[in-house]
Chain A
Amino acid sequence: MIHLAHVTKTFGATRAVDDVSLEVRPGEIVGLVGENGAGKTTLMRIAAGEIAADAGTLEREGRAELVHQHFMLVDALTIAENLALTHRGFRFTTRRMIEREAQQIIDGSGIELRDAARRVAELSVGERSKLELIKAIARKPATLILDEPTSVLTPTESEELFRVMRRLSAEGTAVVFISHKLPEVLAVAERIVVMRGGRVVVESATSETNAQVLADAMVGSPVSRFPGIPVAGQLGNRATGQPGRGEITAIVGVAGNGQAELAARLRDELPDAGHIPEDRTRDGVIAEMTIAENLALKTKRWSPRDAARHAERMIALYSIRAEGPLQRAGDLSGGNQQKVVLARELEWIKSPSSALRAPSPRRRGEGLSTGTSRVPLSPRAGRGWREAPGEGLHLIAAEPARGLDIEATRFVHEQLRAAATAGASILLITSDLDEAFELADAIQVIYRGQLSEPMTPAEASQRVASLMAGVA
């Protein structure tokens, strides 16, 4: 049980949480929704006792566990060792014992995670988030708080998570589910709390509200936020599975089936293309550098003044919420960091030195191989790209909208669509099927390092689930 009364928390000039009162009762699932920076995470960190509020009171019965959006794992250690870190006091033990205990903890959590002897560094993002969850559940908290847990999970994995949440709630655990994805919250939560600008703007039983009301409350103005499945673009000759000019091909799949390897391979094969990495805090921005410096990483020339001027333009153009070009990128919210990466990569492929400005007829038979070939791609395909960068992909975006709020997600999607309209061929690697169907002209499924034939979205909607599960 958690009872927060008139809680306020200020960081610098921003009031992250502003006079919020909230109760979480044993055995209920509360959905906490809001855009990036609405104060959800701050509020829950106060509830979990991680940080202290400036004003207001907190009553808590039993332990509250907050599962973070960012991973709190030791990469160099195995799954078992990471679990042992949180669950064992100091006593002598063996690797075998640790692994056996880890297996028990994993089995007890009801979450599927194989081979506890693997190092965390080798795990996919989805698997890491599962491990975080197992860690938290094993501590038997009275309240479990999940911060954006589904952003890295596939639909099947999300379903698995919801089952675990329902089971825990049936056993009397209170669950707080922080999310941007309204359909999920509507499906699993009994009560929904919407935050905006540090305040609670809506609190309602799930049965008494709907997606449109909640979305309007999140954004603050009644706008249509849920475009339907888009019209499928005309399918070109896509025998090779490579998007043509102006097309977006989505590669969907359960995390850990070779997406990371594919993206890394393409990064090394196609230095002339733009690349949006999956893990933006680790691979996207350099936290210690300024926005201006981050934006300049791909330029040929650099002077602080020009870079600052360029950054001013980008901040306006990509509506990056920042104090100015000289703010540290690490101080930006996740969504704004992603906009910095997006700005850098899109401006790069638009720049005169890049492939997008020098169109040449596309050669067939080169590109992503399909069917039986595995990722890493065949060397022949790789050579083809290296020799002719102008004919290959322009942008490879991995999970470009992961963890972003509705507004930022829509912005990123608009930018990708605009780039495609301008003639870029884009490969979208995503575990978010909604995103794939919304943006892509063609969809391929990746399963255990193999790519399926490209499908039209209509075709894909029938077959994606079974292909992703490897049963087709």
Chain B
Amino acid sequence: MRRVLVAVIAAVAAVLLLAFSGALFGHSPIALLAILIRGSIGSRFALEGTLLKSVPLLLTGLSVVIAFRAGVWNIGGEGQFIVGALAALAAARFGVIASLAAAILAGAAWASIASLMRLWRNAPEVLTTILLNFTAIHLLGWCVNGPLRERAAQYPQTDLAAAALPVVGGVHAGTLIALAASVFAWWMLYRTVEGLRLRATGLNPNAARWAGIPVRSQIVRAMAISGGAAGLAGGIELLGVTHRLFERFAAGYGYSGIAVALLAQLHPLATIASAAFFGALVTGAGELQRTADISAGVATFGQAVVILVLIVFEHVRSSR
């Protein structure tokens, strides 16, 4: 209960700070707040926009939840998101399901490169996954400028994907997949031996090893599952929203997943609410840009505030 309270305080603090920092530049905080709310949940159009942003955030958030629960620092959501989308594009002609499966596998494989580097050279995941992000970003840049460039050769982007997610009730089916994924993640973490051992490994790898848990392979698996979730996010974004790839395709979803997971206190079901909040924040920030001429980048500022507030609370709690 206290954890929920902390998360709510962090979220409210982020929104208020965002609005009041506008005052420094001559805006009325109340007016900014109104724009944020109107732009994120004020209309059907706004709500759809929020939902659209929330889906990839939910999946990259889950990706981080699983990795952090296992005690492994997967900061590579961005790269796994991109390779997931690339694989989805390549496999799209075999249908939606094959395409999404390819996205999951590609994300998992990309994350596993970091695991291999850990096993062979003991390279820390926190570094290798970030470096793999840059690799993926440049891979995408090369693809859309080179081999995968659209046939019209007008923009640095690919042609439309050969498959698309069906639309159910005004939103693409990826929404349901993401919701199902968070239920699955909850089930996996709290209702299976795999989840029990994964959590044990994250909480105390020493004790886990003494209890006979193969800690290394546990971490490798968690990393793959985590990468798979981020890859799926990329695949769904491609097949449900953008339908083609371009250089700024990932748009920071991978990194934002960290804020989503932390606000959710690493709980898979709370991640749904957390992703919705950040989805609203990003969408509302877009409205700020359009009507108040404030950069939509303030959404990133909001994420930072959330993380800082959570860290402060965590510090207060642990130092008591």
Contacts and interface: CB of A to CB of B under 8 A. Distances in A.
A286 B207 CA distance: 6
A293 B211 contact: no
Interface stretch (A90-98, A247-255, A295-303): A295-303
B200 A289 contact: yes
Given A297-B196, A344-B211, A286 B191 contact: no
B212 A297 contact: yes
B187 to A, nearest CB: 11
A283 B206 contact: yes
Contacts of B190: 304
B207 A302 contact: no
B203 A289 contact: yes
B193 A267 contact: no
B200 A302 contact: no
A283 B210 contact: yes
A302 B193 contact: yes
B203 A297 contact: no
A301 B213 CA distance: 14
Contact of A275 (B199, B204, B212): B212
Interface in B74-109: none
A297 B209 CA distance: 10
B189 to A, nearest CB: 11
Interface residues of B, number: 19
Interface string B167-210: 00000000000000000000000111101110110011011111
Contacts of B204: 282, 286-288
Contact of B199 (A282, A285, A289): A289
A89 interface: no
Nearest to A288: B203
B203 A298 contact: no
A289 B209 CA distance: 15
Interface residues of A, number: 24
Contacts of A301: 193
A8 B309 CA distance: 37
Given A302-B193, A303-B191, A304-B190, A293 B200 contact: yes
Contacts of A289: 199-200, 203
A277 B213 CA distance: 14
A110 B200 CA distance: 42
A472 B203 CA distance: 45
Q: DSSP majority for the A interface?
A: loop
A384 interface: no
Contacts of A293: 196, 199-200
Interface string A58-80: 00000000000000000000000
A264 to B, nearest CB: 9
A282 B200 contact: no
Nearest to A302: B193
If over half of B's interface residues share one DSSP class (helix, strand or loop), that class is named, otherwise mixed; here it is: helix
A271 interface: yes
A386 B130 CA distance: 39
Contact of A296 (B196, B206, B209, B212): B196
A286 B203 contact: yes
A284 interface: yes
Contact of B211 (A298, A302, A303, A304): A298
Contacts of B207: 277, 282-286
Contacts of B193: 296, 299-302
Contacts of A285: 207
A302 B209 CA distance: 18
Interface in A315-347: 344
B2 to A, nearest CB: 15
A299 B213 CA distance: 10
A59 to B, nearest CB: 28
Identify the interface centre among A285, A286, A289: most chain B CB within 10 Å of its CB.
Answer: A286
A287 B199 CA distance: 12
A302 B196 contact: yes
Contacts of B196: 293, 296-297, 302
A335 to B, nearest CB: 17
B200 A271 contact: no
B192 A297 contact: no
B210 A267 contact: yes
B212 A298 contact: yes
Interface in A254-312: 267, 271, 275, 277, 282-289, 293, 296-304
Given A286-B200, A302-B196, A304-B191, A297 B206 contact: no
Tell me which of A289, A300, A301 has the highest count of chain B C-beta atoms within 10 A of its own C-beta: A289
B209 to A, nearest CB: 7
Contacts of B197: 297
A271 B190 CA distance: 25
Contacts of B192: 302
A297 B211 contact: yes
The 6 closest A-B pairs by CB, nearest first: A297-B211, A302-B193, A283-B210, A286-B204, A277-B210, A283-B206
Given A283-B207, A293-B196, A293-B199, 7 more contacts: A275-B210, A282-B206, A285-B207, A288-B204, A289-B200, A302-B192, A304-B191
21 contacts: A267-B210, A277-B210, A283-B206, A283-B207, A283-B209, A283-B210, A286-B207, A287-B203, A287-B204, A289-B199, A293-B199, A293-B200, A296-B193, A296-B196, A297-B197, A297-B200, A297-B212, A298-B211, A300-B193, A302-B193, A304-B190
